A and B are shown apart, each in its own frame.
Chain A
Amino acid sequence: DVKVTQSSRYLVKRTGEKVFLECVQDMDHENMFWYRQDPGLGLRLIYFSYDVKMKEKGDIPEGYSVSREKKERFSLILESASTNQTSMYLCASTSLRGGGEKLFFGSGTQLSVL
């Protein structure tokens, strides 16, 4: 089974802190994604990456950056956390071999920014 692992289930940070959310997948997938999930708004794409060192902005990239130095790892960075970034963050990966639509998700990180 594909495994997508997010490093933390719950995080509490203070406004202005730099925050790193880590995601690792074990299936050699090309594409990796970061979403945030908020009540009433559904899943919104922050950034995605289709190869090592490649990244593309999603629908809501402001206030975030990403890093993909190795194929299996995709990191989301909040340079200076703000209270409106309190949310559930979901990482996902997919293989182009299967058409690329079937995402495999991690368990999520609930981030609270105080």
Chain B
Amino acid sequence: EDKVVQSPLSLVVHEGDTVTLNCSYEVTNFRSLLWYKQEKKAPTFLFMLTSSGIEKKSGRLSSILDKKELFSILNITATQTGDSAVYLCATANFGNEKLTFGTGTRLTIIP
């Protein structure tokens, strides 16, 4: 059974801090790993990673995948209160239309 584990489950930091969120996986026929941000209701897409060692970057957010050690990290630098959200990690595999989601990391930024 495919498995995606995120850590920590929750994190509280002060505005301006840098945070690292972790996602490890055990997936057969791995195709890609995705990160989503869920602020109120609808998760919104952040990154899709398919290759090891290539950093994806969008503003203060960046992510990287390690296919040998089977994990990914999501970094947020100079955090702002608008970064407060649940961050979801998911994997996709070949031959399957479904994504497997982790339970998410709840990030709270204190002003």
**Contact between chains at B41 and A100 (CB < 8 Å):** no
In the bound assembly, the distance between CA atoms of A41 and B94 in angstroms comes to 24
The stretch of A13-21, A76-84, A102-110 in contact with B is A102-110
In the bound assembly, the distance between CA atoms of A108 and B101 in angstroms comes to 16
**Contact between chains at A31 and B97 (CB < 8 Å):** yes
Count residues on chain B whose CB falls below 8 Å from chain A CBs. Answer: 21
Within 8 A of B (CB), among A13-44: 31, 33, 35, 40-44
**Contact between chains at B42 and A102 (CB < 8 Å):** no
Q: Is the interface of A mostly helix, strand, loop or mixed?
A: strand
Name the B residues within 8 Å of A64 (CB-CB): none
Within 8 A of A (CB), among B18-48: 31-32, 34, 36, 40-45, 48
- Indicate which residue in B44, B92, B101 contacts A43 across the interface (CB closer than 8 Å): B101
**Contact between chains at B98 and A48 (CB < 8 Å):** yes
Whether A58 is near chain B, meaning CB under 8 Å from some CB there, is yes
Name the B residues within 8 Å of A101 (CB-CB): 31-32, 34, 48, 92, 99
A68 CB, nearest partner CB in chain B, Å: 14
In the bound assembly, the distance between CA atoms of A108 and B41 in angstroms comes to 6
**Contact between chains at A105 and B97 (CB < 8 Å):** no
In the bound assembly, the distance between CA atoms of A104 and B42 in angstroms comes to 8
A15 CB, nearest partner CB in chain B, Å: 25
In the bound assembly, the distance between CA atoms of A32 and B29 in angstroms comes to 22
Within 8 A of A (CB), among B67-100: 88, 90, 92, 97-99
Name the B residues within 8 Å of A31 (CB-CB): 97
A4 CB, nearest partner CB in chain B, Å: 8
Chain B residue with minimal CB distance to A96? B97
Contacts A42-B88, A90-B42 given: A103-B99 contact, CB under 8 Å? Answer: yes
Q: Which residues of B contact A (CB under 8 A)?
A: 31-32, 34, 36, 40-45, 48, 88, 90, 92, 97-99, 101-104
Q: Which residues of A contact B (CB under 8 A)?
A: 4, 9, 31, 33, 35, 40-45, 48, 50, 56, 58, 88, 90, 99-108
